[in-house]
Amino acid sequence: MKVKKLITRFDFQERNREEVGLGPKTRLHPKKGLLCLTGPNWGAPYPTDEDLWIKTRLVNPESCIRWVGFQSDQTNYKDGLGNTVTFVGFRLSDGNDELFWNGSEWTIAAPGNWNTEQEVADHISDYPHRALQVVINLRTTHPTFTPEVHNVKLLWDSIIEYQEDYVARSLLRAMKEEIRPIAQIIADTPKTTSAFNLSSIETTYKIVGVDGVFNLDDDPLMRNDLAGIYDASQSIIQFSASIPASKRVLIRFEYVPTIAISTHQEYIEVSQTPSIIIEGIDWNVKERIEKGEFIVNRQAGTAYELQNFWKGDIDINISWIADKLKDIDAIGTELNKFFNNKMLRSVGLDTFFRLYAFEPYVQNVGALQSSLHIARLRARICDAVFYGPGAVPVPVTKRFLAEGMVNFQVP
């Protein structure tokens, strides 16, 4: 099992505001890009309450096998006598319970229970959950000063396989969860009935819901929806009112198409329709980055840096097959909606990448053998990251000796 060390970074810029949970008397400073306390006039005097908090978003990367490092870039201040008057504390949460290190284990925190950055860094490897949210405590004992937190970083061990994660685990999963075309049938009622068995439909659909039922003879404008309860286990829909014999009934239903990956031409032999096939995957390298994010344990004197990784676009060729042109159109509508410049979550990294169709479906339908029909589109995952070896150890400078005249310039 190849284990890579990866880094997750929480920034506190204005663009990340939706990912930050602000507690009372705290703020994300839109111009400075940091977390701080806030007074009645968006500044001093700052509150001196002890348990004020801010939360990062909850991350849950499925390829994570353990958390191994922690760092916070922060600024604390001293008063005129040289006494530190601002402080930053931390807890870790799985989204339910907030935990702190009590000296021997992570346990549920009570008011006033906070850890220092160093305590979290030294013991995060004992944190018992994969899901992790950082809870940040900002505190001041002097109303003129506020602590400032610029970012938080996490180091973790990952067993990710990138292309499998982006396409098979992330894209395919999202498509199966979200793509729900609408199909319809028209049936005659041989007798007065209040139910219909959808398993009798010629095309094998995996039906998950009913969109509407209409008596076309008595209600040609389809103003009165007669859909009732749908029993998926029996494929039977109960009508909200009985429909007399010898009536034409329109039933619209929602279904899940078969979605699979195939990198060869055997997709025309699929036995179930409608089907969506990912039939080609191309990765186009855009840039190689020699050095990137780093994380430091200041007291231990250890650091890791992401080096020699690549960014690129993953182009995906998608086709879909159906025995009815109406299903081709319905699936095309769902795919165009799905690939409409959305964000795709990499489940292995718990990071988001832009996804869009650069050659969308435009009804260029061709007939296949056996009266099947096929259509295609091309989509792209933008700036997918391939970290290669992951973060590698780098030397840390803990102190340096300067002799003679030294000129420091602060930008």
Half-sphere exposure of 184 (CA within 13 A, CB side): 14
Q: Give per-residue pLDDT as tens, 10-25.
A: 999 999 999 999 999 9
Q: Is residue 399 part of a domain?
A: no
Q: Is 111 found in the same domain as 36? A: yes
Q: Which of 255, 290, 308 is the endpoint of a domain?
A: 255
* pLDDT for 411: 46
* pLDDT for 135: 98
Q: Is 129 found in the same domain as 71? A: yes
Instruction: Using alpha carbons, select from 112, 102, 118, 141 the residue that is nearest to residue 53.
Output: 112
Q: Is 210 found in the same domain as 343? A: no
Residue 395 burial (CB count, 10 A): 8
Whole-number Å distance between alpha carbons of 338 and 173:
12
Do residues 331 and 405 lie in contact, with contact meaning Cβ atoms separated by under 8 Å? no
Instruction: Using alpha carbons, select from 218, 207, 236 the residue that is nearest to residue 227.
Output: 236
Q: Is residue 403 part of a domain?
A: no
Q: Is residue 168 part of a domain?
A: yes
Query: According to the 3-state scheme, what is the secondary structure of 116-165?
Result: CHHHHHHHHHHCCCCCEEEEEEEEECCCCCCCEEEEEEEEEEECCCHHHH
Q: Give per-residue pLDDT as tens, 218-228.
A: 999 999 999 99
Q: Is residue 41 part of a domain?
A: yes
Q: Give per-residue pLDDT as tens, 304-324.
A: 999 999 999 999 999 998 888
Q: Which helix (H) or strand (E) is 74 found in, with range?
A: strand 64-75
Say which residue the tokens 């780098």 belong to. Answer: 394
Q: Is 186 found in the same domain as 175? A: no
Whole-number Å distance between alpha carbons of 339 and 282:
17
Q: Is residue 239 part of a domain?
A: yes
Q: Is 122 found in the same domain as 21? A: yes
Distance from the Cα of residue 163 to its chain's centroid = 16
Q: Is residue 407 part of a domain?
A: no
* pLDDT for 325: 87
Q: How many domains does the chain have?
A: 3
Q: Is 224 found in the same domain as 90? A: no
Task: State the DSSP string of 24-53.
Answer: TTEEEETTTTEEEE--TTSSSSPP--S--E
pLDDT band of residue 267 (cuts 50, 70, 90) is: very low
* pLDDT for 409: 59
Strands 86-93 and 133-140: what pairing?
Answer: antiparallel
- Tokens matching residue 409: 């310039």
Whether residue 170 is predicted with pLDDT greater than 90 in this model: the reply is yes
Q: Is residue 369 part of a domain?
A: yes
Q: How open is the CA angle 90-96-100, to the nearest 5 degrees?
A: 30
Identify the CATH number of the domain in which residue 358 sits.
Answer: 3.30.2000
Q: Is 187 found in the same domain as 175? A: no
Which residues neighbour 246 within 8 Å (Cβ) at sequence distance 6 or greater?
188, 189, 190
pTM to 2 decimals? 0.85
Buried b / exposed e along 334-346 (16+ C-beta atoms within 10 A): bbeebbeeeebbb
Identify the CATH number of the domain in which residue 17 sits.
Answer: 2.60.120.260
- Tokens matching residue 205: 């659909």
Whether residue 147 is predicted with pLDDT greater than 70 in this model: the reply is yes
- Tokens matching residue 307: 């080096």
Q: Which helix (H) or strand (E) is 397 found in, with range?
A: none
Do residues 39 and 47 lie in contact, with contact meaning Cβ atoms separated by under 8 Å? yes
User: φ and ψ at 196, to 5 degrees?
Assistant: -145, 140
Average pLDDT over residues 375-392: 93
Whole-number Å distance between alpha carbons of 234 and 253:
15
Q: Give per-residue pLDDT as tens, 202-220.
A: 777 889 999 999 999 999 9
Identify the residue with better confidence: 402 or 357: 357
Q: Is 325 found in the same domain as 225? A: no
Q: Is 207 found in the same domain as 86? A: no
The whole-chain average pLDDT of the chain stands at 90
Q: Is 150 found in the same domain as 48? A: yes
* pLDDT for 386: 93
Average pLDDT over residues 247-273: 76
Q: Which helix (H) or strand (E) is 373 found in, with range?
A: strand 373-386
Q: Is 148 found in the same domain as 193? A: no
Whole-number Å distance between alpha carbons of 223 and 402:
85
Helix, strand and coil in the chain, % to nearest 5 = 15, 50, 40
Q: Which domain holds residue 271?
A: 162-179+259-394
Q: Is 229 found in the same domain as 295? A: no
Identify the residue with better confidence: 283 or 106: 106
Question: Integer distance in angstroms from the first to the last C-alpha of the chain?
Answer: 45
